[in-house]
Amino acid sequence: MDNDVHAGLIAQFNRCAALNRRCIAYGQKALDEKRLREARLFRAIARSATIQGAHLLTAASGIGTTDQNLSRELGEARTVLLDVLPEEINRAKASGSTPASVALEHAHAAALSTAELLEEALAAPSGSGRGELYVCSICGFLVQGEAPDVCPSCGVNKQLLPAVE
C-alpha cells in the first residue's frame, strides 16, 4: 500500500477515534441534563465512528494477531508512560492548572495499569483466570481480580468500578 494512502487511513481512523470519545462524553453530559434524545444521538454518532474506525484500521492493515495487537498496545502504553505523560504533567503543573494536572496524573495511573495488564496477557495467554476486569468510571484505572474498596488512582468508592464484560 502506498505510504500516503496508509497515512490517510490512519489519520481518518484517529479522527473517528476522537469523534467517538467526544460523543460518548457529550452523550453523558446530555444524560446528566436529562436530554435523552440528544444523548441517544451522541451515542449513535459514537457507534458510527467506531464502525468506520474499524473499517479504516482494517484497510490500513492495522489489526494483526492477538499477540501482535497486545504488543503494539503495550508499546503505545510504554511510550505514553515514559515520554508523553511525564512531559504533559510537568507542563500542567508549571502552568498552575490543577484540573489538568489531576487529569493527566489519572491518565498516567491508568496507562500504568493498562501496561501491566497487557504484559500479563502476553506472558500468560488465554484463560489464565485471574478474575474480573474493572474500570474506574471516574479516572479509567484498570483493576483485575477483586475490585478494591477504593480506586488506587483516584480514591473513589468501589461501587464506581464497574466490571467489564
Mean pLDDT, rounded, of the chain: 90
Q: Measure Cα distances from 47 to 54, 110, 158, 164 in Å.
A: 11, 24, 28, 18
What's the rounded mean pLDDT across residues 138-162?
Answer: 82
Query: Residue 159: what are its φ and ψ, rounded to 5°?
Result: -60, -20
Q: Give the predicted TM-score (pTM) of the model.
A: 0.80
Per the CB < 8 A criterion, the answer to whether 60 and 6 are in contact is: yes
pLDDT in tens, 16-64: 999 999 999 999 999 999 999 999 999 999 999 999 999 999 999 989 9
For residue 124, the model assigns a pLDDT of 82
